[in-house]
Chain A
Amino acid sequence: MSATAGEPLVEVRDLEMHFPIRSGLLSRQVGAVRAVDGVTFDVLRGETLGIVGESGCGKSTTARLITRLLDPTGGSINWEGRDIAGLGRKELKPLRREMQMIFQDPYSSLNPRKTVGTIIGEPFVIHGVETDERKRKGLVQDLMEQVGLNPEHYNRLPHQFSGGQRQRIGVARAIALKPKLIVADEPVSALDVSIQAQILNLLKDLQRDLGLTVIFIAHDLSVVRHTCDRVAVMYLGKIVELASSEELYAHPRHPYTGALLSAVPVPDPRLARNKNRQVLGGDVPSPANPPSACRFHTRCPKFVAGTCDVDYPELSPKDGGNVAACHFPLTDEEIARRVPTAAA
């Protein structure tokens, strides 16, 4: 927390991840899946940045690139002013304790043969922070207390915990070394409705208490709105819109964001009956062979032939402060018709 809030902690520029497609006897590369294809954004200190999009849009790959679990094929990632995109294993190790991940599935992300104490204490061992076992136990039990687990359960195995409690174990492990950045990849989507709120509130409290910066990846737009300060919407490996949560949900400018918001079921039967749900046709095209120019043009309700399929729209400021990549952004009147939950 030495640096001021609002300064960028991570600056991502033109980040690319093209997974090669190989085929034939010599397994020559015949193409590439463009999972992330030129993504640029900043993550500011102390904020929660949401990344939303449908499956296959590249949101999880982006997260894995920033935490350097994958080697990017292009672009740069500036971590506190230093490019970490090309660093090797050894150089990355000291950085690893500053960025931690929380995963979606609390069942497969915990080793079933290790006790909870060992799992949460492992970061201390790996980074040689606390080698004395008794002291380590004290630290781990403090962490368990902090995330709402009973410290007496130190010697239990993961299967003795419920899904929500397991996710708390994952959170404790992630905050053990007091990282600067937490990347949470769908942290609540495997949990029951009544448990989701417990974990969301826990993350919020920890962020406030520890001054964490969080990248929050989710497909649930209601959860993202509640949790995040700013939101990036991704479609087929590109960011199509980036705005503060208030602005994005009040006036989505990209037609894809509008369609996503329009599709969210609202737990209010009266509103549901009156809304003009805009249903997108078809499926997300393959990232191995994305459409030309604007990648959304094949499904876009505002598609204009000769422009959208020819000129690539750059991200640029639109009405209301959103940054969107679109030639024909949604007007206020279109938003009012399609997205009944948007504030008028």
Chain B
Amino acid sequence: MAQPLLEVKDLKVHFETEDGIVQAVDGISYSVGRGHALGIVGESGSGKSVSSMTVMGLTRSSNARISGSIMFDGKDLLAAGEDEMRAVRGGEIAMIFQDPLSSLHPFYKIGDQLVEAHRSHNDVSKARARDRAIEMLGLVGIPDPRKRIDGYPHEFSGGMRQRVMIAMALINDPKLLIADEPTTALDVTVQAQILELIQKLQHELDTAVVMITHDLGVVAEVAEEIAVMYAGRIVEYGSSDTIFSAPEHPYTWGLLKSIPRLDTPRDQELVPIFGRPPSLINKPSGCSFHPRCPYVREAHKKVDPVLEPSGSADTVHKVACLLPSETRRSLWAALRAGETPEAAIEEVPIPEKTLSPSAEGQTGGEVPGP
């Protein structure tokens, strides 16, 4: 297969703080091909945003310890200097954030901000840059772009501002668009508009997309492959069909069973994941999900699971779980049939000693093959 556009290998981002070392990202690997869409799902504090900010070179600070490699289109971004990174940021890789109001400068007309974004990467005249800005505003669906280009951010609604942000992100034809919770602040009808726009642009401009979100519905609509993050690691990786129909990690099950959804019976009980996400300074020993996992065994508190192929029909599917794979599949079958974790445990015997095959290796996150 061709070289992926973005290849992150064993990335670790640790921050030194007064309270100790925060292991925000702790050895993750993933890759995104040209024109493809990857979803990264996780709760707050799972490291999903820090890992993407690191791709953009936005986490470089004196207390940050970054290791691993980030290969983008043949360049190692971790080794790149600040000048090189400035050329990449907003040029080949663009990013849109959750809150479009705080990402736009309130003092300048949106046209000026778009023109500046284009001219800082391209040697073109102001007039040409302005034409390009009008073209982009039209492309993202802003009505009457010739007039609206001279508006200030406060004159736009939330959805329109997010469109302006997308226009700015795409004005330099990036190869990769990182969208960090792009629709979280928006109403559901506007969210639908923005998701449709991102998908349309992905297909028309062949831009690769990394969509970071906590909303499983959003990734189901946009992403082809999904990485589920927990406590700085990828705990499950697979095609979006696999993640939703045959997930094998207890955390993924927990997420899927704890959200109310429109396509299940109304009276179906929500099964919350008990406890709360761990501190990234003092991570639990062994599997970091073990304090919240209903299927935990003594051995899981000591052995750190490795992300490894699940052996299912989906060749990219990988799981970091110490349960033997047949046990995982029987448990999910029971949960899927509507049973509670307690009932599932009674039905499926969970072996105390047997661990998943390569549990002896202790190397943190693994590479989901390109």
Contact = CB atoms under 8 A, between A and B. Distances in A.
Interface in A298-344: 340-341
B254 A265 contact: no
A200 B260 contact: yes
Contacts of A220: 188
Contacts of A249: 262, 266
Nearest to A342: B262
B368 to A, nearest CB: 18
B142 to A, nearest CB: 11
A272 B187 CA distance: 19
A269 interface: yes
Contact of B255 (A193, A223, A279, A284): A193
Contact of A260 (B159, B189, B270): B189
Interface string A49-90: 000001100000000000000000000000000000000000
Contacts of A340: 263
Given A268-B244, A341-B263, A193 B258 contact: yes
B76 interface: no
Interface in B12-62: 43-44
A267 B261 contact: yes
A269 B255 contact: no
Contacts of B188: 54, 219-221, 260, 263-264
A277 interface: yes
A194 interface: yes
A196 B255 CA distance: 11
B187 A266 contact: no
Interface residues of A, number: 46
Interface residues of B, number: 44
B160 A283 contact: yes
A190 to B, nearest CB: 10
Q: Which of B159, B241, B270 has the most CB of A within 10 A?
A: B270
A38 B317 CA distance: 54
A269 B37 CA distance: 13
B205 to A, nearest CB: 20
A231 to B, nearest CB: 11
B266 A246 contact: yes
Contacts of B259: 193, 196-197, 222, 267
A28 interface: no
Nearest to B46: A192
Nearest to B194: A279
Contacts of B195: 265
B135 interface: no
Q: A interface, by DSSP: helix, strand, loop or mixed?
A: helix
Q: B interface, by DSSP: helix, strand, loop or mixed?
A: helix
A225 B217 contact: no
A209 B238 CA distance: 42
Contacts of A259: 189
Contact of A265 (B157, B190, B215): B215
A245 interface: yes
A201 B277 contact: no
Contact of B261 (A245, A266, A279): A266
B274 to A, nearest CB: 7
Contact of A198 (B191, B214, B263, B274): B274
Nearest to B215: A265
Contacts of B266: 225-226, 245-246, 249
Contacts of B87: none
Given A265-B191, A272-B221, A164 B244 contact: no
Contact of A221 (B158, B258, B262): B262
B260 A222 contact: yes
A271 B264 CA distance: 12
Interface string A208-241: 0000000000011111011100000000000000
A200 B221 CA distance: 25
B276 A265 contact: no
23 contacts: A54-B188, A164-B276, A193-B216, A193-B255, A194-B254, A195-B272, A196-B258, A197-B260, A223-B260, A249-B266, A260-B189, A261-B262, A263-B189, A265-B195, A265-B221, A266-B220, A266-B262, A269-B220, A269-B244, A277-B192, A280-B189, A281-B193, A283-B190
Given A55-B187, A196-B272, A267-B256, 8 more contacts: A193-B258, A194-B255, A194-B277, A197-B270, A197-B273, A200-B260, A219-B187, A340-B263
Shortest 8 CB-CB contacts between residues of A and residues of B: A265-B217, A226-B260, A197-B272, A263-B192, A341-B262, A197-B258, A194-B273, A54-B187
Interface of B: 43-44, 157-160, 187-193, 195-196, 214-218, 220-221, 240-241, 244-245, 254-256, 258-263, 266, 269-274, 276-277
